[in-house]
């Protein structure tokens, strides 16, 4: 496969996301710009369990969960979803000055905020601290977890599946309960479907 060509599944997910924002040219421009940055940073990286799937698909699915399933139509929040893994997965801090110049400040701030929080650590040390995290940031963290759980649905890595189930039940479902009933339902269904 030619590595300079965009994967068909990536194109499909990206166009599906843009369709949600088709009434707002400004949103399409901002989302396209942040997609370009994220796609550049994740280029050549593939999902751990699915070697044929580009990693960029994960962040697009997280953005689609937020925009399509949770009905969050804020272009900066969706841009943050597209960019949410640029630091921890790719050591992109070397690009931070470039990112600051190219992307919207609101998106970058949300991405940087998400890096400060480890849900498991917060829940264990101070469960009340969860209520201090913005609802938007909780949605981003939960959408990320939901896509990870859905991706593990047919995984052969039984230990990883078991760990994700336990962590989600112990740490993420309580966060979902504080955030949104539909997110509790979506995570519960995804957990039930894990074998």
What average pLDDT does the structure give for the chain? 82
Please give the Cα distance from 146 to 39 (Å, whole number): 21
Please give the Cα distance from 161 to 166 (Å, whole number): 9
pLDDT in tens, 3-18: 446 789 999 999 999 9
Predicted pLDDT at 154:
80
Question: Which has more confidence, 57 or 102?
Answer: 57
Q: How confident is the model at residue 106 (pLDDT cuts 50, 70, 90)?
A: low
**Is-contact 145 168, C-beta < 8 A?**
yes
Strand-pair partners of 46: 54
pLDDT in tens, 63-87: 999 999 999 999 988 988 998 887 6
CA atoms within 13 A on the CB side of 193: 16
Q: Where are the beta strands (DSSP E) in the chain?
A: none
pTM (two decimals): 0.85
- The continuous run of DSSP H or E covering 17 comes out as helix 8-20
- Give me the mean pLDDT over the 48-66 stretch: 87
Please give the Cα distance from 40 to 52 (Å, whole number): 18
DSSP label at residue 84: T
Backbone angles phi, psi at 54, to 5 degrees: -60, 140
Predicted pLDDT at 35:
92
Please give the Cα distance from 40 to 170 (Å, whole number): 35
Q: Where are the beta strands (DSSP E) in 9-129?
A: none
**Is-contact 27 21, C-beta < 8 A?**
yes
Question: Which has more confidence, 88 or 47?
Answer: 47
**Is-contact 47 59, C-beta < 8 A?**
no
DSSP H helical ranges for 69-172: 75-83, 96-102, 105-115, 119-125, 135-151, 158-167
> Can you give the residue ranges of every domain in the chain?
1-111, 117-195
pLDDT in tens, 126-163: 667 777 788 888 899 899 999 999 999 888 888 999 99
Please give the Cα distance from 29 to 125 (Å, whole number): 41
Residue in 48, 82, 90, 38 with CA at minimum distance from that of residue 63:
82
Please give the Cα distance from 151 to 155 (Å, whole number): 8
């Amino acid at each position: 496969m030619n590595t300079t060509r965009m994967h068909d599944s990536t194109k499909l997910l990206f166009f599906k996301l843009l369709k949600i924002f088709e009434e707002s040219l400004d949103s399409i421009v901002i989302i396209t710009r942040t997609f370009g940055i994220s796609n550049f940073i994740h280029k050549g990286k593939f999902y751990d369990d699915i070697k044929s799937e580009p990693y960029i698909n994960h962040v697009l699915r997280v953005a689609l969960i937020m925009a399509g399933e949770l009905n969050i139509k804020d272009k900066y929040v969706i841009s943050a979803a597209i960019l949410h893994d640029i630091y921890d997965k790719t050591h992109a801090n070397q690009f931070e000055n470039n990112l600051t110049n190219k992307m919207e400040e609101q998106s970058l701030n949300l991405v940087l905020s998400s890096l400060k929080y480890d849900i498991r650590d917060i829940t264990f040390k101070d469960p009340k601290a969860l209520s201090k995290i913005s609802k938007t940031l909780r949605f981003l963290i939960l959408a990320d977890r939901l896509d990870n759980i859905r991706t593990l649905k047919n995984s052969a890595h039984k230990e990883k599946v078991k760990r994700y189930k336990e962590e989600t039940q112990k740490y993420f479902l309580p966060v979902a309960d504080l955030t949104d009933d539909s997110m509790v339902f979506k995570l519960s269904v995804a957990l039930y479907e894990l074998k």
